[in-house]
Amino acid sequence: MNDLAWIIDTDIHPYIDPQRVADFLPQPWRRRVQSGNAGPGHLGYWNPNGVRRNDIFAPDDSPEKGKRVDADAATMVKHHLDRFALSHGILNADLINVGLSPETDFACAFMSSVNEAIVTDWFAVSPRILASIHVTPTDPQHAAAEIRRWAAHPQFVQVLMPSGSRTAYGSRLYHPIYAAAEECGLPVAIHPGTEGLGVSGVPTAAGYPGNYLEWHTGLVGSYLAHLISLISEGVFVKFPKLKFVMIEGGVSWLVPVLWRFDKNWKALRQLSPWLIHPPSHYAYEHILLTTQPIEEPENPQQLQNLLAMMPIEKMLMFSSDYPHWDGDTPDFVGRHIPAAHRRQVLRDTAWALYRLDERTKNTNSHHASRLIQNLKSKIQNPYVPISNHELE
């Protein structure tokens, strides 16, 4: 890699075929997915741009001609990581929607198998490929076990949950997830796009949006609810080392809601007596955001003014959202970030959060393959109601 290869991309969406996930599923879930039923999909809103960009195939003049960049690990390294001088990229599979299935046993087995597919098909190709541990928040005990199962793997760097949820994430229902994440030194992240699916209920407090523009613009509503809930219900008091990453939720909403939050706390602090600091203190110490989709006002100075109102040097990280239709490149984002904090946003904050000094050493160990096999056998999958051969 050249000297510029130091940027970290905190949100890449690999294409993982559900049929590949099925290869790791026990029966009867394997048969279910192989038949074409993988649980909650999407609400069906039409995006005229498509969800994934059209140029996801390797260029015609490359040896990888015709291969999907988002579907093959080696092609991803060459045509995304190398192309944009990225030292590492973190995979967040679009399949997290299945984690909201009301069929909890299936959802847990499916998320476990997504993790297996990532280890098998992506991690072995390059230590520069990192990923989230995908969990099912509707079963916090299973999610905690899945976190502990994979936490020692140097390429799993955080825990991922859908932002669509049954209830806001400050609820004590989710505390086993946070306890496992804190114990294992992993941040917890959420990603939008699942609002309204499965057990998460309607996508907004006002019901169903009328089209994709309305739905996509309003996704930040769930982030507001989760932020307020996490802080109000004392998650960061109970788990003082926990970091919470809000992927792909934008940036501009944070400061105004914290103004309102701090003001209300002064009058209503008896309702959250465990908060000894204003809510903004906990947000700035524990919450991180990713850049995509960074707001683009007609007057760029307005965004600069807003960024100056928060400690972006420790809470904002670069993300491309590749290969989604509205993704960003590092040079585009870099122009929006004040020069004094550009390095922190593009690299340093993510490098520290995900402990990449330590992980880089571990990933290069010749014991890595044996470690993976040991980790796989640590816990038994409890979702095998009958033996495979009875259904084959």
Q: Indicate whether 1 belongs to any domain.
A: no
Residue 309, CB half-sphere, CA atoms under 13 Å: how many? 16
Distances 267 to 64, 270, 276 between C-alpha atoms, Å = 61, 8, 14
> How many separate domains does the chain show?
1
- DSSP structure class, residue 189: E
The CA distance from 371 to 153, in Å, is 8
Residue 254 near residue 282, CB atoms below 8 Å: no
Burial call 319-355: b when 16+ CB within 10 Å, e when fewer: bbbbbbeebbebeebbebbeeebbebbbbbbbbebbe
Which token pair is 25?
């599923």
Q: What is the CATH number of the domain that holds 66?
A: 3.20.20.140
**348, part of any domain:** yes
Q: What is the pLDDT of residue 360?
A: 84
Q: CA 49, 33, 11, 91: dihedral to nearest 10 degrees?
A: -140
The answer to whether residue 282 is domain-embedded is yes
The pLDDT, as a whole number, for residue 6 is 84
In whole angstroms, what separates CA 202 from the centre of its chain? 21
Q: Is 91 inside any structural domain? A: yes
* Residue range 296-348, pLDDT digits in tens: 999 999 999 999 999 999 999 999 999 999 999 999 999 999 999 999 999 99
Q: Given a cut of 70, is residue 91 above it in pLDDT? A: yes
> What does the pLDDT read at residue 364?
57
Q: What are the distances in angstroms from CA 113 to CA 29, 33, 236, 259, 376?
A: 11, 12, 30, 42, 11
Q: Is the separation of the CB atoms in 163 and 191 below 8 Å? A: yes
| Structural domain includes residue 143 | yes
Question: Which structure tokens are listed for 10?
Answer: 């905190």
Is residue 87 domain-resident? yes
The mean predicted confidence, pLDDT, of the chain is 91
CB-based burial of residue 56 (10 Å sphere; 0-12 exposed, 13-18 middle, 19+ buried)? middle
Q: What is the pLDDT of residues 175-191, one digit of tens each?
A: 999 999 999 999 999 99
Asked if 20 and 117 count as a contact pair (C-beta separation under 8 A), the reply is: yes
SS3 category, 99? helix
Do 328 and 292 contact (CB within 8 A), yes or no? yes
Retrieve residue 348's tokens.
Answer: 């340093």
Six token digits for residue 349: 């904050």
pTM of the model: 0.92
2 in a structural domain: no
13 occurs within a structural domain = yes
Q: Does residue 5 carry a pLDDT above 90?
A: no
CB 154 within 8 A of CB 88: no
Domain with 267 in it: 7-390
211-216 long-range contacts, CB within 8 A, separation 24+: 211/45, 211/46, 212/45, 212/46, 212/47, 215/43, 215/45, 216/45, 216/47
Distance CA 282, CA 305 (A): 22
CA distance 335 to 330: 9
Is residue 367 over pLDDT 90?
no
pLDDT tens readout for residues 37-50: 998 888 999 999 99
